[in-house]
Chains A and B, each alone.
Chain A
Amino acid sequence: MAFSRLELIFILGLSALVLRALPQVFLVGKSFPDTWDRLLRYLSYALLCGLISITLFMSGPRFDAQAAPYRAVALAVTVAIAYKTKSAVTGMLVGMVLVLLFSWLR
Chain B
Amino acid sequence: MLFAARFRQGMKAAIPIWIAFVPSSLAWGIAAQAHGLTLEEIVLMSAWVYSGPAQFAVLVPLAEGKSAATVLIAGFLMNLRFLPMSTALAPFFRGVKRLPLVLASHVVSASSFIVPYLQFQKERAASGGRSLADGYGNLGFFAGVGASAFTVWVIGTAAGFGVAMSFPTGFEEALKFILPGYFAGLLVAEMKGKTMPLICLASIVTAIPGALFNAGWGWLATAALIAVLGWRLEKWLSRA
Interface of A toward B, CB cutoff 8 Å: 1-3, 5-6, 8-13, 15-17, 19-25, 27-32, 35-58, 60-63, 67, 71, 74-75, 78-79, 81-83, 86-92, 95-97, 99-100, 102-104
Contact = CB atoms under 8 A, between A and B. Distances in A.
Contacts, number: 296
A98 to B, nearest CB: 9
A17 to B, nearest CB: 6
A39 B231 contact: yes
B75 A12 contact: yes
Given A71-B177, A82-B189, A86-B189, A50 B222 contact: yes
B199 A45 contact: yes
B180 A51 contact: yes
A71 to B, nearest CB: 7
B57 A83 contact: no
Contacts of A71: 177
Given A42-B227, A47-B220, A16 B51 contact: yes
Given A45-B187, A46-B199, A57-B208, 19 more contacts: A12-B45, A19-B82, A22-B83, A24-B93, A24-B101, A40-B80, A42-B196, A46-B227, A47-B57, A47-B77, A47-B78, A47-B220, A47-B223, A48-B183, A55-B176, A74-B181, A78-B184, A86-B189, A89-B182
A95 B170 CA distance: 16
22 contacts: A5-B41, A8-B71, A9-B62, A12-B45, A20-B82, A21-B86, A24-B86, A25-B102, A35-B235, A40-B80, A46-B202, A47-B78, A47-B203, A49-B199, A51-B180, A78-B181, A78-B184, A88-B23, A88-B189, A92-B181, A97-B174, A100-B171
